[in-house]
Structure 1
Amino acid sequence: MQGANTTDVRDSPALRVCGGLTAAGAQVSGYDPRLGSIDPATLHRCGVVGVDDPYVATKGANAILVLTEWPQFRDLDWPSIGEQAPGAVVLDTRNLLSCNAIDGTGLRYLGNGTVGGY
């Protein structure tokens, strides 16, 4: 929800995206490695339910958005996420992930400006 390696969420594009999604009726769960440093009121204003576990945030999701470039996201167990959210779209706005990490997981990868992406 914030830029990688920072605790500054002022003017966060990720929070603007989340706010737009909730305004459109989506239920948004958000994970950030430094969730504890984000003011809960900021998340509430954007309609985001902050969770401290990426697997909880993605469970049952229709879409998984990678909005910040935290390197920890590369190391997630994507096959396990695919089991918990079968058929979900992984929208990688930062091109942080490898398409190969998502292949065969039951998830659909869309990278920013990539072949087959958006």
Structure 2
Amino acid sequence: MLNCEISAIENDRFLGSKQIADSFMSTCILKGNGTLIYSHTQDTEEQCHGVCNGGNPGMATAGMGDLLTGIVGALLAQGMTEQQAATYAVCAHAEAGDRVAREYGQRGMIASDLLQPLRAIINLL
């Protein structure tokens, strides 16, 4: 998306997320250790909405990003703004992953393991 090496983004994740948000005039979720949520608003003022320190290395498996994207889409469909949907989705996703890790451990975690805790978390919103 930025036509650069992954290492360049990892060296400055804040700048990378800002550049993505600015390039696409959107909200960027940059997953990883300290997931970033960066938004570009309609009046061209960009904002970093936060860093989510939840989640764990067990979540670095196939399908976790797809699950997060689905949560964002569902929250958008329910009328949340991009920033709200991104923030709630990232936090709920991370909390679900942490609950699974506490109960079963991080090894062998797959995206579908998060569905039951996600349901409980999302219903509290």
The TM-score range, normalised by the shorter chain, is under 0.3
The TM-score, its normalising length taken from structure 2, stands at 0.25
Give 1 or 2: higher helix fraction.
Answer: 2
The TM-score, its normalising length taken from structure 1, stands at 0.25
